[in-house]
A and B are shown apart, each in its own frame.
Chain A
Amino acid sequence: MQKPCANCHTMHNSQGYAFINIAERQDALMNDTCVGCHTSSSVGFEDPSGVVQPYVWTTVNPGYNEMKDPSNFQPTLAGGNFYWVAGGAAAHLKGHNVEGIAGAFSRSPPGDGTSGKTFDSATPITCAGVNGCHGDTAVVSQVESIRGSHHSNVAIDGNTLLGSYRMLDGVDGREDPDWEYTLTASDRNQYKGAVRIFDSEWSPKLISSFCARCHGNFHHDDGGTGTADLAFSSPWLRHPVDIDIGGRGDEYAYGGGAAPAPFQVQTPLGSEFFPMGGPSETVDLSGANGWGIITCISCHRAHGSPYDYSLRWNYQAWPGGGYNGCGDCHTTKD
């Protein structure tokens, strides 16, 4: 980020004869919280001051185009939007109920296997830090946990925090410069996956492994149910992630079954590798070669969506309405 320092920092906590921050001190002389800076009262992408920043929470309905149809443009970014989960207790399934946006429920993360966390009003989910997703998750302070990340623009490889995808410490990936504000098959994020052989395989560079820090059982086929299924193969106890749908034949005709298949932006596949020159409009599904990998993000938005379980599409209303995103891969189940 190369913008005026005052856009984010305040030297004296004073501006226009008023305090910038009254309620609490902000580390690093920040003039607002994570939520504060990434919240907008409009659905635009670029605020009037010209500062380009991803709005993850809009206080007005940003609209949602589940199919990402270019002819029906809606400015929801790749992670979705917290607008819907902020709608009160009845909306708690529509995203992560992050502090400052949505009320906390006293519960452990769904599918939690190892984190041992319980989030409640005293220890809510935060954007960053020990109870958050972004930054160094070993650091308590949210601001401190993302130290330097906004000032760095190093190549993403997941080897350092500064080189991590979207400040998700250790995660690899390829970032769309406008956070999928505009979206096509060749203008998008590319998520990091892997072709797993064993259920126990786990790598911090994978987006799904990252989710598994809190939702660990959901990453494994056999965890937490008492049903032993140690093989990482069908029949599955849980829907697998970090598995390649390429070359499977049978019911899997993603993108219409063409080879290579058109990339479906509404159900993005991750990859073990990243193509030179940016995302490809097609995906090679000729075999389990690492290009067509199911990740958590293939079905879910990280921040929130209009739909329960933060799904990318209105799956609950299907059939008869909504959209069967499952059918993008399970093409005979539509």
Chain B
Amino acid sequence: MRYSDFWTFLLIAAFGPVSYYPGLVQAAGPYLDSAHGNSTYGVSRVDIAAAGFVRGNCAHCHDQHASVGAGSADLYMLFDKSNTDQARNLCLNCHGSGTVYQTGGHVINRSYSFRAGGWTADPLNNVKDAFSSLSQASSHNLNDIVKFAGATARSWKYNSIDTGNANRGDSNACGVCHDPHLIQGDPAFYAFNQNSPKSAAARTGVVTQINSSPVNLWGDKFLPDLATDNPVERMSSYPTYRDPYRSTVTPTFEPDGNSAQQGGANSVNYVAFCTTCHNDTNAIYSSDLFRQLNVIDWPLVEKHGQEFADDDIQMNGPYSSGNGSLGYVLSCLDCHEPHGAVNVFLIRGKVNGGVTTSANPSFSTSIISGNEFGQLCSQCHNPRPLGSGRDWEDVHHDNTVVDGPYLKVPGSCNVPAGGCHANAAGPPVGVQINCYGCHYHGAVTGGTNPVTLGTIPMPDLVIGLNPQTF
């Protein structure tokens, strides 16, 4: 429940429905509480502002008679095409770059790595570029989203008709995650502090619960209310969640730079949010990867989810090394950007206080032969807990102190044929095999990698049957 709703509830409870004078009854909806509806910093299309409409007015997005800007009107009475492709979308007219419709210039929207992770070197400052292959290595495919959300079995709001053609005005990919009439900005006053850490007051409510009715701001945190401000909407609902580092120099934590660990009390529960789509039952085809996406069973299977590590894990802070039921749970946004990223698979440019692109700025397409993923994993996992010469050697091959499921047999690193390493002596220092070969969502020993098509070797030290490798 929003703050204003709460007080309205109290007023109604005390005095009955508000009536300004007999006959006039107008219910108060949430639009004015949204970022778009704000009269100070809300939506303001240049042409409509020039026609005398104040900021936040419906006419900035909706053309009641499809008579402004001939030929470009679209369904939902929108003034421009709702969804065309990765570069043209009604929302991107203001949340874009270059010449935009919004009075005063485009809306500044930073990456999650910038705002939550403190990666201020990231030049990205708008959503349109976040979805562009010209500036990002990967991004959510907007047409794929439309096809998924608009499928007959779903027909989610703003994606209501299954046409097999995403380029229709009755669907808009942005609306799957952001209800335009409810969503709040972060920070609330976009003209100020737009480059700041995510703010204490407005860090939540930037998404709306997918396919909820009524539409629910997801993660909003104002006054306690069991109806919508449920603690489940925040990562603190997982007792073993830890805020990643925003900075490791003088330790501060995501998402707002707090110097104290909040255990997810400040963070939106993006696990519940993202797994509305990315779960273990939905089949989602990626037009970019030319395959079905890996399924994700975060609650019951994945170790980065709510399942436990099989054995010892050697960690960097804020996570503790150990064995047994450590059971840390990660948020999807601890590793992934929501819109687009400089790395493949929407991997953030900065994770747990470390920049993932420092050694391989592209971290882009060579996911099979390179070792770029090690940069991601090593932000949280310690690659050399025993100080050996090779990253990741200890954790894979030492079975005395740390988790080393594969016995180290010098001269036989390429056995059996097609095994882990190409040469018998193992990889040269600095040329480790790519983590992705064995570790990805849903990966299990004995399973087949959907990209490399290689088989994940069974461990020499079997801990249960076909243990998960992710």
Residues of A within 8 A of B57 (CB): 315-316, 318-319
Partner pick for B77 among A239, A256, A263, A264, CB 8 A cutoff:
A239
A333 contacts B54, C-beta separation under 8 Å:
no
B66 contacts A225, C-beta separation under 8 Å:
yes
The A interface is mostly helix, strand or loop, or mixed, namely loop
Smallest CB-CB A-B distances: 4 pairs: A332-B29, A320-B39, A256-B25, A331-B27
A321 to B53: give the CA distance in the assembly, Å: 11
The digit string for B4-27, where 1 denotes a CB below 8 A from any CB of A, is 000000000000010011111111
A111 to B58: give the CA distance in the assembly, Å: 20
A185 contacts B23, C-beta separation under 8 Å:
yes
Q: Which residues of chain B from 264 to 305 have any CB-CB distance to chain A below 8 Å in the complex?
A: none
The digit string for A235-276, where 1 denotes a CB below 8 A from any CB of B, is 111110000000000010101111001111110000000000
The digit string for B50-80, where 1 denotes a CB below 8 A from any CB of A, is 0111111111000011110011011111000
Is A226 at the interface (CB under 8 A from chain B)? yes
Q: A237-B74, A256-B17, A318-B57 are in contact. Are A308 and B51 (CB under 8 A)?
A: yes
Q: A235-B75, A239-B77 are in contact. Are A327 and B26 (CB under 8 A)?
A: yes
Residues of B within 8 A of A328 (CB): 26
Q: A238-B66, A239-B64, A332-B29 are in contact. Are A316 and B54 (CB under 8 A)?
A: yes
A227 contacts B75, C-beta separation under 8 Å:
yes
Residues of A within 8 A of B413 (CB): none
Is B308 at the interface (CB under 8 A from chain A)? no
Give the shortest distance, in Å, between B44 (CB) and chain A (any CB): 12
Q: Which residues of chain A from 86 to 122 have any CB-CB distance to chain B below 8 Å in the complex?
A: 110-111
Instruction: Jot down 12 A-B pairs with beta carbons below 8 A, ordered by A.
Output: A67-B20, A69-B21, A217-B65, A225-B73, A235-B75, A237-B74, A238-B73, A262-B25, A308-B52, A318-B54, A328-B26, A333-B58
Q: B160 — nearest CB in chain A belongs to which residue?
A: A235
Is A229 at the interface (CB under 8 A from chain B)? yes
B75 contacts A334, C-beta separation under 8 Å:
no
Is A15 at the interface (CB under 8 A from chain B)? no
Q: B31 — nearest CB in chain A belongs to which residue?
A: A333
Is A218 at the interface (CB under 8 A from chain B)? yes
Q: A267 — nearest CB in chain B belongs to which residue?
A: B26
B26 contacts A319, C-beta separation under 8 Å:
no
A218 contacts B31, C-beta separation under 8 Å:
no
A253 to B51: give the CA distance in the assembly, Å: 30
A319 contacts B56, C-beta separation under 8 Å:
yes
Give the shortest distance, in Å, between A213 (CB) and chain B (any CB): 16
A319 to B42: give the CA distance in the assembly, Å: 10
B24 contacts A316, C-beta separation under 8 Å:
no
Residues of A within 8 A of B170 (CB): 235
Is B181 at the interface (CB under 8 A from chain A)? yes
A318 to B25: give the CA distance in the assembly, Å: 17
A256 contacts B27, C-beta separation under 8 Å:
yes
Partner pick for B30 among A229, A264, A316, A332, CB 8 A cutoff:
A332
Residues of A within 8 A of B23 (CB): 184-185, 262-265
Q: A327 — nearest CB in chain B belongs to which residue?
A: B26
Q: Which residues of chain A from 192 to 231 have any CB-CB distance to chain B below 8 Å in the complex?
A: 217-218, 224-227, 229
B21 contacts A70, C-beta separation under 8 Å:
yes
Residues of A within 8 A of B64 (CB): 238-239
A261 to B23: give the CA distance in the assembly, Å: 10
Is B435 at the interface (CB under 8 A from chain A)? no
Give the shortest distance, in Å, between B414 (CB) and chain A (any CB): 59
The digit string for B323-341, where 1 denotes a CB below 8 A from any CB of A, is 0000000000000000000
B65 contacts A331, C-beta separation under 8 Å:
no
Q: A237-B77, A316-B52 are in contact. Are A253 and B27 (CB under 8 A)?
A: yes
A251 to B254: give the CA distance in the assembly, Å: 37
Q: A229-B75, A331-B27, A333-B181 are in contact. Are A110 and B65 (CB under 8 A)?
A: yes
Is B349 at the interface (CB under 8 A from chain A)? no
Residues of B within 8 A of A2 (CB): none
The digit string for A21-58, where 1 denotes a CB below 8 A from any CB of B, is 00000000000000000000000000000000000000
A218 to B59: give the CA distance in the assembly, Å: 16
A326 contacts B58, C-beta separation under 8 Å:
yes
Give the shortest distance, in Å, between A89 (CB) and chain B (any CB): 15
Partner pick for B21 among A71, A227, A235, A308, CB 8 A cutoff:
A71
A257 to B58: give the CA distance in the assembly, Å: 22
Residues of B within 8 A of A263 (CB): 23
Residues of B within 8 A of A185 (CB): 23
Is B46 at the interface (CB under 8 A from chain A)? no
B56 contacts A320, C-beta separation under 8 Å:
yes
Partner pick for B74 among A227, A253, A334, CB 8 A cutoff:
A227
A185 to B25: give the CA distance in the assembly, Å: 12
Q: Which residues of chain A from 310 to 326 have any CB-CB distance to chain B below 8 Å in the complex?
A: 315-322, 324, 326
A332 to B37: give the CA distance in the assembly, Å: 12
Is B28 at the interface (CB under 8 A from chain A)? yes
A320 contacts B54, C-beta separation under 8 Å:
yes
A334 contacts B26, C-beta separation under 8 Å:
yes
Residues of B within 8 A of A224 (CB): 66
A110 contacts B67, C-beta separation under 8 Å:
yes
A332 to B51: give the CA distance in the assembly, Å: 25
Residues of B within 8 A of A265 (CB): 23
